[in-house]
Amino acid sequence: MTTMAVHRKRGIWERAGSALTFEKVFPASSLLLVLYIVVPPITILSLSFSEKFDLVWGLLPVGFTFEQYTEWADVLYRAMWSSVMIAVPTAVLTILVGLPVAYALVRQQFWGKALVNELVMLPMIFPPIILAFGLFQLFRTGGLRMLGVFPTLVLAHTVVSTPFLIRPVVAALQRVDVAYEEAAQSLGASRLRVFCDIVLPITLPALVTGVTLVVARSISDFEITLLLTNPDYTTLPIAIYQAFETGKARLGAAVAVVANVFSILLVILLEGLIRRSKWW
């Protein structure tokens, strides 16, 4: 057998072995990933309906009861309402701040642009507890301590949530050909008209994605809310923390289920709105 034939045969076996390994590893890794994602929510759901703290095999409820949802309905409602009351103005303020910044980062040229691009992403990089402590110093002992709890929470959530809107909008704007805007301006359209009639419709899916991420980030925030809130604003994560701290693990699980269901419904609602939008 010639050397060329040996190498050809070895290559065939190597390709076959590689394909066989991929066919085995990929399904197994996919299954493990799905289990890793699905099992914790199932455990929380089971615990919220279980009559006891212990679960069967750590996964299935012992008995079945709606006690946590009926007896503590007022707690669940207040926690969800507080989260919504903070998340909605946070999303609005994030749009007002983040959308112009994203447009400027893509379309404008100015000194320090690269530095600004990095700075606006810092809240995504810093550990939440560090941001929480810095914002606590600013809003509780610093120059903004005169603000009430509600505007403090909204402003703090806006600071940490804005990058989640800027990033997808920047990516969408980078895919929009600037020739469309230049053609509209050459026909007499103002920059505001160009932005509203051309840029915004094209980037609307990315904007909705960013708003979804902002609302989800606001609703799930724990560290910042814990340091800046008071008993009048007990959000869903704070309610979960308080339930576990007082030994009410099943109540904490019920609050977690409400938070997850609310987030899923929010995503479905926003996706439905964007599909039915006249811009889409």
CATH number of 260's domain: 1.10.3720.10
Nearest to 71 by CA among 256, 260, 254, 259: 254
Which of 65, 90, 111 corresponds to the end of one domain?
A: 65
The count of structural domains within the chain is 2
Q: Are residues 37 and 121 in the same domain?
A: no
Give me the pLDDT at residue 47, please. Answer: 75
Q: Are residues 21 and 126 in the same domain?
A: no
Q: Are residues 61 and 73 in the same domain?
A: no
Half-sphere exposure of 83 (CA within 13 A, CB side): 29
Q: Are residues 61 and 78 in the same domain?
A: no
Q: Are residues 132 and 239 in the same domain?
A: yes
Q: Are residues 221 and 166 in the same domain?
A: yes
Q: Cβ(224)–Cβ(132) under 8 Å?
A: yes
Q: Are residues 33 and 102 in the same domain?
A: no
Give me the pLDDT at residue 92, please. Answer: 92
**Burial (0-12, 13-18, 19+ Cβ within 10 Å), 245:** exposed
Give me the pLDDT at residue 206, please. Answer: 85
Q: Are residues 127 and 211 in the same domain?
A: yes
Give me the pLDDT at residue 2, please. Answer: 53
Q: Are residues 112 and 243 in the same domain?
A: yes
In order along the chain (280 residues), what is the average pLDDT of each group of 10 residues? 48 49 66 73 75 65 73 81 90 91 84 82 80 77 74 88 90 81 78 80 84 88 84 84 81 83 80 60
Amino acid at 85: M
Q: Are residues 78 and 212 in the same domain?
A: yes
Give me the pLDDT at residue 120, please. Answer: 83
Task: Determine the structural domain holding residue 144 and report its residue range.
Answer: 69-276
Give me the pLDDT at residue 91, please. Answer: 92
Which of 65, 88, 117 corresponds to the end of one domain?
A: 65
Q: Are residues 103 and 158 in the same domain?
A: yes
Q: Are residues 175 and 134 in the same domain?
A: yes
Which of 39, 65, 91 corresponds to the end of one domain?
A: 65
